[in-house]
Amino acid sequence: MKVLKFGGSSVANSENITKVLDIVAKTSKETKVAVVVSAFGKTTDKLLAGANEALMDITIAKEILEAIKSLHFQIIEDLIFTNKKAVSEEITAMFNRLQSIYEGVFLLQELSDKTLAKVSSFGERFSSFIIANAAKELFDAIHGESRDLIITNNDYLSGQVNFKLTNKNINSFFDKNKHQVVVLGGFISANLEGETTTLGRGGSDYSASIYAADLNADELQIWTDVSGMYTANPRVVKQAYPISEISYEEAMELSHFGAKVLYPPTIQPALRKEIPIRIKNTFDPENLGTLISKNPKKGTDVKGISHIENISLITLEGGGMIGIPGFSKRLFETLSQQKINVVFITQASSEHSICVGVYENDAPKAKLLLDETFSIEIDRKKIKPIIVENELAIIAVVGESMKNHQGLSGQMFSALGRNNVNVRAIAQGSSEKNISAVINKYDAEKALNTLHEQFFEEKTKQLNLFVTGVGNVGERFLAQLHQQKKFLKENLKLKIRVIGISNSRKMVFDTTGINLKNWKELLENGEPTTLDTFYEKVKKSNHINSVFIDNTANQQVSEVYEKYLRQSISVVTCNKIACASSFENYKNLKRISRKYNASFLFETNVGAGLPIIDTLKNLINSGDRVHKIQAVLSGSLNFVFNNFNEDSTFHDVVGQAQKEGFTEPDPKIDLSGVDVARKILILARESGYQLELEDIANSSFLPEESLQTTTNKDFYASLIKYENHFQDIYKEADVKDCRLKYVAEFSNGKANVGLQHIASDHPFYNLEGSDNIVLFFTDRYPENPMLIKGAGAGADVTASGIFADVIRIANQ
Ligand code: ADP
Ligand code: ASP
Ligand code: MG
């Protein structure tokens, strides 16, 4: 025997009920089935709304009733054929009775709990009768009347079950029953006098559990609109996922603290008989859902997080309580006598106050009652009048094995603290199955998501960046980072924070991450800095996974890398000076980087964002050997010679290149060929050759006078003066139908750079704009070289190269 319960949304319309009947038909082929159904969709809400409306306006109440009726008749129309007439007559008669009740409410202007129970019971009475008859069309089924079987006390709206009698009734009914399937209404019951009572809102789950226990079912299945009990309410936490297995106690805690998918009392009857409960999705029946059992397979320490909104805290406080027993007894007695549910209890160890959480709509009544109970003590000023705080929520972190792990509550509260969620009260059950906290209800969603991220989401890797240099490249880098933040977090599980930014004058630090929307303003208002002050501050901040990023072209900055690396802080740089300095220094930085387990990456030193160095590294690491490199490596020179001709002037074209960000801050470094020489030097070194900058033959096309200038102004002046010289260079190539390219070559351990005439059949001839090209001739690519080509200069591509290095560090 199995008991299958289908909730409101599972039976909201004919289409859904068809799915339900499929599921029941399948199960009934293997075993007898008791089907417990809720009212169709939101019928209970509507019935109650109609009853409340009947107190004021009977016409509106009847309109509500008509809407309910039309849904029910639509379902009869769609699903019942042979018995349609009889079923329709029975349902019509029931609607007539319901209408009379509404009219009675209107006339008497009275709506008691007894009437509310009667009204709301119609939902399940309709639904179970209609579904039973629809089932009869398809398989061997019968309708059972829960009000004849489940007996409660006179608490009409949340009846306390008389288990002895109920058990007897259920067993004698099922003993006589010969049908394979019995369809019963959930939620509804009766008292000893036979008056209708209900088991409380959401109570169909409970009915099903009572049937399952009394029938010693093999399994209780709760079919709903989600695929199980989730790690948190899936409507509030998008990342929540179904828990595959959970214990009865854990499920009980989660449902007690708001996991609506299971009505809290449901667990008890099933637990008593150790009947496994499976929560399944009617709309995804293949999904295994959640198994609730005595010995679930081991999962995470924290099983789920739940929350209840609309909570009030009631505090009983005063020096007069100390050492005198009985205050809490009187408090709880008063509340329980009036059926006020206490959701949460905490007592300060000083015994100076007791604090309980109740539902917000019970709070005014609770205050009134408690002020009355303690009136003598309050009058004598032994205790203060009851304090009520509203608009609160409770969040609870649940898991049985939490007790085996220290530090979980620390994690919980520090995560909440980091996210600025103020905790008003805390309780930890002595069983340590849950830790719960009272917070402002407006923080509930943030708190749930924070805790879910803390305990369930794949651990994100955090990278902490310290950025020096916010010129063209630095600015673009920060903009790209800002734009990609969300993507990196969601797709690469990577959280990148910029903690420090500096330029040559100022610095700004924020250990929680600088807001990249307005970093300029923050930096402008930052503290004065030097390279040393910045370094000291980075060192002191002592973050994990720190990366120092140099976006400058500055010699002094390149000299501090070693200090960072020695602190295990990685270095990413587009500044070529370090790698093109003495071979000794280059090797030393690499050695320190290995020793301190910090990356030293400089992909942007050659070809901006093009993956040249990385590719070269991969070749070498996989055992290839480089024989020859031919390359056009200066985006700036390429731009200059692609745009310079008889109609333009050389200095104008150079000025334009600088304006567009294609040159170093000092354009002479590009024009003199020094920049290209540094690049080929770095490539040769990365290929495994020991070379110095002086070893690279550089035949500059600049006049000696231009080379000797010391300021940009003088440099440009010299370009104007030697315009004819540049025009001659152009014409010399042009008459041969050649283009001018500044070519870098490395072969047989030697390197040279210089301007060359490139004929139209050469791969360099069609190099556009500021593009770079590199040809690697290696053991594996001896004749047809490996070729990398693309934009090799510009702030955006350089910034993206820096970005790529940062991601490489993250992926290590
Ligand atoms: P039914 O009508 O089938 O009884 P309910 O609406 O009572 O369904 O319960 C299912 C709903 O419970 C889900 O749609 C979801 O919004 C809500 N819910 C809250 N917390 C959880 C949780 N931890 N896991 C699954 N569902 C939850
Ligand atoms: N129909 C009832 C309610 O809406 C009981 C249930 O669906 O569990 O509360
Ligand atoms: Mg429910």
- Counting ligand 1 atoms within 8 A of each CB, the residue from 40, 224, 238 with the most, and so the one to mutate, is 224
Residues in the chain: 812
- Which ligand sits closest to the CA of 202? 2
Confidence label for 349 from pLDDT (cuts 50, 70 and 90): low
Report, at the CATH architecture level, how domain 612-793 is classified: 2-Layer Sandwich (3.30)
* pLDDT above 90: residue 339: no
In this prediction, residue 265 carries a pLDDT of 96
Q: Ligand 2: does its nearest atom lie under 6 Å from the Cβ of 203?
A: yes
Task: Quickly state the pLDDT bin for 422 (edges 50, 70, 90).
Answer: confident
Give CA–CA dist 200/159, Å, rounded.
Answer: 7
The mean per-residue pLDDT over the stretch 370-375 comes to: 94
Residue by residue, DSSP assigns 685-714 as HHTT----GGGSEEE--S-HHHHT--SHHH
Active site residue 590: no
The mean per-residue pLDDT over the stretch 696-711 comes to 94
Atom number of ligand 1 nearest to Cα 229: 24
Q: Is the pLDDT confidence value at 431 over 70?
A: no
H-helix or E-strand spanning residue 463: strand 461-468
**Which residues, in sequence order, are bridge partners of residue 36?**
5, 184
User: What's the gap between Cα 103 and its chain centre?
Assistant: 51
The topology under which CATH files domain 304-456 is VC0802-like (3.30.2130)
| pLDDT interval class at 350 (50, 70, 90) | low
Give per-residue pLDDT as tens, 355-369. Answer: 899 999 999 999 999
Provide the pairing of β-strand 219-224 with 2-6.
parallel
| Helices 43-54 and 113-136: angle between axes, nearest 10 degrees | 140
Average pLDDT rounded to a whole number, residues 232-259: 93
C-alpha 555 – ligand 3 centre gap (Å): 69
- pLDDT at residue 769, rounded to an integer: 82
| DSSP label at residue 460 | P
Residue in 698, 688, 702 with CA at minimum distance from that of residue 744 = 698
Q: How far, in Å, is the centroid of ligand 3 from the Cα of 176? A: 30
Please state the rounded mean pLDDT for residues 332-356.
83
- Among protein residues, the one with the nearest Cα to ligand 2's atom 5 is 202
Q: Mutate which of 68, 131, 187, 198 to test ligand 2's pocket (most atoms within 8 Å of Cβ)?
A: 187
Q: Which atom of ligand 2 is nearest to the CA of 187?
A: 5
CA 529, 532, 534 angle in degrees (round to 5)?
A: 55
Question: pTM score, two decimals?
Answer: 0.64
Between 52-61, 399-408, 764-773, the lowest mean confidence (pLDDT) is in: 399-408
Mutation pick for ligand 1 pocket among 37, 42, 226, 283 (CB with most ligand atoms within 8 Å): 226
CA distance 249 to 255: 10
User: How far is it, in rounded angstroms, from Cα 234 to Cα 250?
Assistant: 18
Q: Return the ∠ at Cα 144 (arms to 140 and 150), rounded to 5°.
A: 145
User: Angle CA(135)–CA(139)–CA(142) in degrees, nearest 5?
Assistant: 55
CB 572 within 8 A of CB 802: yes
Average pLDDT, the chain: 94
User: How many CB atoms sit inside 10 A of residue 563's CB?
Assistant: 18
Q: Say what the pLDDT of residue 560 is.
A: 97
pLDDT band for 292, please (50, 70, 90 cuts): very high
Ligand 2 atom nearest to CA at 206: 8
User: Which region among 218-222, 291-295, 431-435, 483-487 has the lowest average model confidence (pLDDT)?
Assistant: 431-435
Give the helix/strand (H/E) hosting 285: none
Residue 249's SS3 state is: helix
Give CA–CA dist 202/805, Å, rounded: 55
Cα gap 36→15, rounded to integer Å: 18
Phi, psi of 234 (to 5 degrees): -65, -20
Question: What pLDDT is recorded for position 430?
Answer: 53
Neighbours of 182 (CB within 10 A): 24
Task: Report the residue among 9, 10, 36, 44 best suited for mutation to probe ligand 2: largest number of ligand atoms under 8 A from its CB.
Answer: 44
pLDDT at 429: 60
Interhelix angle 363-373/327-337, rounded to 10 degrees, is 130
Q: pLDDT digits over 393-411, tens only? A: 999 999 988 877 778 888 8
Measured CA to CA, the distance from residue 164 to residue 170 in angstroms comes to: 10
30 by Cβ neighbours in 10 Å (0-12 / 13-18 / 19+) ranks as exposed
Identical fold, 2-224 and 304-456: no
SS3 letters for 89-115?
HHHHHHHHHHHHHHHHHHHHCCCCHHH
Nearest to 105 by CA among 159, 65, 66: 65
Ligand 3 centroid to 8 CA: how many Å?
7
Token couple for 290: 């959640």
Per-residue pLDDT band at 738 (split at 50, 70, 90): very high
Which ligand has an atom closest to residue 207 CA?
2
232 Cα to the center of ligand 1, angstroms: 10
* Strand ranges across the sheet with 494-502: 527-528, 506-509, 494-502, 461-468, 546-550, 570-573, 600-601
Regarding the beta carbon of 186 and ligand 2, being less than 6 Å apart is answered yes
Asked if residue 121 has pLDDT above 60, the reply is yes
* Cα dihedral 496, 502, 503, 506 sign: positive
Mean pLDDT score, 688-700: 95
DSSP state of 301: S
Nearest alpha carbon to residue 601 among 587, 610, 614: 614
User: Coil, helix or strand for 226?
Assistant: coil
Give me the mean pLDDT over the 10-28 stretch.
98
Protein residue with its CA nearest to atom 6 in ligand 2: 202
What average pLDDT score do residues 152-181 get?
Answer: 97
Encoded tokens for 47: 């019935």
Does any ligand 2 atom lie closer than 6 A to the CB of residue 44?
Answer: yes
pLDDT at 707 over 90: yes
Angle between the 472-492 and 795-810 helix axes, to the nearest 10 degrees?
A: 40
Q: CATH classification of 461-595 is 3.40.50.920, yes or no?
A: no
What would the mean pLDDT of 764-777 be, rounded to a whole number?
A: 91
- Domain parsing of the chain, residue ranges: 2-224, 304-456, 461-595, 612-793
User: Over the stretch 782-799, which tens digit does the pLDDT of each residue have?
Assistant: 999 999 999 888 899 999
Ligand 1: residue whose CA is nearest its atom 4? 7
Residues with CB under 6 A from ligand 1: 7-10, 38, 202, 224-226, 229-230, 232-235, 259-261, 304, 306
Protein residue whose Cα sits closest to atom 16 of ligand 1: 235
Cβ pair 448, 307 in contact under 8 A:
yes
The catalytically annotated residue of 62, 69, 118, 679 is 679
Query: Is residue 172 pLDDT above 90, yes or no?
Result: yes
Nearest CA among 159, 171, 90 for reference residue 130: 90
Rounded Cα gap, residues 396 and 243, in angstroms: 16
- CATH numeric code, 2-224: 3.40.1160.10
Q: Which of 522, 487, 518, 524 is nearest to 505 (CA)?
A: 524
Tell me: the pLDDT tens digits for 505-563?
999 999 889 999 999 999 999 999 999 999 999 988 877 778 999 999 999 999 999 99
Answer yes or no: is pLDDT of 351 > 70: no
